[in-house]
Amino acid sequence: MGKIVAVCTSPKKGMRKKNVGEGTLVIEHGIQGDAHVGDWHRQVSLLALESIEKMQKMGLDVKPGDFAENLTTEGIDLVSLPVGTKLKIGEQALGEVTQIGKECHTRCAIYYQAGDCVMPKEGIFIRVLEGGQVKVGDSIEIQAK
């Protein structure tokens, strides 16, 4: 079992997200108030704090939200989860892994600063199956089949 260490949103695509501390996951939509919501397979993005720490060790001054992820997690190996895995997030929300990593069509500022970026390889995406409130400190766990 892991935990949520940041809940991040942004008003526009293509920008770093801000840790707002809590949010509402809306069924088949995403995290309320975020630019990436919609009826598609990448409704909510997740990145592990452990991945962010890799970039910090490379000398970058980065924090949760800087990779445009919605939920920053700790203690769960996100990239090892197969597509279709269900994740219980907080008390009520349920998400399903739809994609591991993403193709970067344009190089972001992080890439130019470090020569690498973790989100394309280590970020995952989910769609929201059951909505609910999520906040920093909530658990995130793989749902038993």
Locus of tokens 């970020």: 123
How many structural domains does the chain have? 1
- Residue 114's pLDDT band (boundaries 50, 70, 90)? very low
Residue 61: domain span: 2-142
Amino acid symbol at 86: K
Cβ-based burial of 124 (10 A; exposed 0-12, middle 13-18, buried ≥19):
buried
Here the CATH number for the domain that contains residue 70 is: 2.40.33.20
- Residue 16's pLDDT band (boundaries 50, 70, 90)? confident
* Helical segments of the chain, H only: 49-57, 109-114, 119-122
Q: Mean pLDDT, the chain, as a whole number?
A: 88
CA distance 59 to 56: 5
CA distance 138 to 23: 11
